[in-house]
Amino acid sequence: MRTALVTGASSGIGAATARALVAQGYRVFGTSRRPGTPGAAVPGVELLALDLADAASVEACAAAAGDVDVLVNNAGESQSGPLEELPPEAIERLFRVNVFGAVRLTQLLVPGMRARGYGRVVMVGSMLASFPLAYRGSYVASKAAVKGFAMSARRELAPFGIGVSTVEPGSVNTGISERRTHYCADGSPYRDGYDTMLRHLDANEAQGISAERVAGTIMTAIRARRPRPLYAVGSNAPLVFGLRRVLPRSALELLVARRHGL
Ligand SMILES: NC(=O)c1ccc[n+]([C@@H]2O[C@H](COP(=O)([O-])OP(=O)(O)OC[C@H]3O[C@@H](n4cnc5c(N)ncnc54)[C@H](OP(=O)(O)O)[C@@H]3O)[C@@H](O)[C@H]2O)c1
């Protein structure tokens, strides 16, 4: 029986992925910062404590999980704010959670996969990394960073039977809008544009695809004999990635801004 570890399995995409893995017969570990909280539990999933902002917690989680064949780096913080007003400590926390924690967890679990000659690592990125959006620079940069690590590691790990993919969801209706962290000061000169972007972002999320659909794409990456570098799902991904290949960057930039009322 293969073992999978899904970070951030207490809600949304992570919970749906953990359920899909259980249904496929995997032994599944999930994580939450508060694994004892009512509502965090997913049937059939063994919940471990993990706070990606805390390096010791990442080490302890990897040790508790033991041998893992499939790692889904899903947990993440959704942060918004104009570049000028993002506090340095907020950017640092975001990168600890979305990038450094995921990279460290991968470093700790890859040696076992390599020794056993099989592994799958999936980074849950965001389509915003491919289509950057105003007032979301820190988040866009963090998702581009994990994609960079994943893309580079593919050639390093393929000879050992380890597939590495990035899944870029578009808008997904998980309620993440309520959990975003915001950094836009009262009286900020960016307030109007920020609020407009946010209104559209939240409306897009409310009309977004289901977490189960993203979990289906993650399962495709896990089960592929030769996993692709990038899977995108939601927000008309096939159309917009097609446009990305033919349109000038400035036209794409305008399209993304218009979709968010800017
Ligand atoms: N929803 C979307 O529209 C969308 C679009 C593109 C990409 N994504 C990405 O998809 C992933 C999942 O998003 P979602 O919508 O399913 O979000 P969600 O429902 O808010 O779930 C986020 C998960 O991450 C965990 N988490 C948050 N901060 C953490 C930390 N510091 N350390 C460890 N775990 C932490 C949470 O667990 P606890 O609170 O229990 O610790 C929760 O299980 C994220 O990486 C997000 O950026 C989402």
* Every domain of the chain and the residues it spans: 3-259
Three-state SS for 129?
Answer: helix
Is residue 38 over pLDDT 80? Answer: no
Stretch 193-210: mean pLDDT: 97
Closest atom of ligand 1 to 52 CA is 32
What confidence score (pLDDT) does residue 24 get? 98
CB 199 within 8 A of CB 101: no
Closest atom of ligand 1 to 10 CA is 43
Ligand 1, from 10, 166, 212: best to mutate by most atoms within 8 Å of Cβ?
A: 10
Residue range 51-90, pLDDT digits in tens? 999 999 999 999 999 999 999 999 999 999 999 999 999 9
Mean of pLDDT over the chain: 97
Is residue 41 over pLDDT 90? Answer: no
Residue range 136-147, pLDDT digits in tens? 999 999 999 999
The rounded distance, in Å, linking the Cα atoms of 184 and 106 is 33
Ligand 1, from 29, 33, 233: best to mutate by most atoms within 8 Å of Cβ?
A: 33
In 3D, which of 79, 29, 68, 231 has the Cα closest to residue 150?
Answer: 231
Give 62 Cα–ligand 1 centroid separation in angstroms.
19
Q: How many CB atoms lie within 10 A of CB 44?
A: 14
Give 247 Cα–ligand 1 centroid separation in angstroms.
31
Active site residue 194: no
Is residue 40 over pLDDT 90? Answer: no
Give 205 Cα–ligand 1 centroid separation in angstroms.
14
Residue range 16-33, pLDDT digits in tens? 999 999 999 999 999 999
What confidence score (pLDDT) does residue 37 get? 87
Residue whose structure tokens are 């849950």: 124
Closest atom of ligand 1 to 13 CA is 16
**Which residue's CA is the closest to the ligand 1 atom numbered 20?**
176
What confidence score (pLDDT) does residue 147 get? 98
The rounded distance, in Å, linking the Cα atoms of 200 and 205 is 9
Q: Which CATH architecture has domain 3-259?
A: 3-Layer(aba) Sandwich (3.40)
E strand residue ranges, the chain: 3-6, 27-32, 45-49, 70-73, 79-80, 119-124, 162-169, 181-182, 230-233
**Which residue's CA is the closest to the ligand 1 atom numbered 46?**
76
Give 227 Cα–ligand 1 centroid separation in angstroms.
23
Stretch 171-200: mean pLDDT: 96
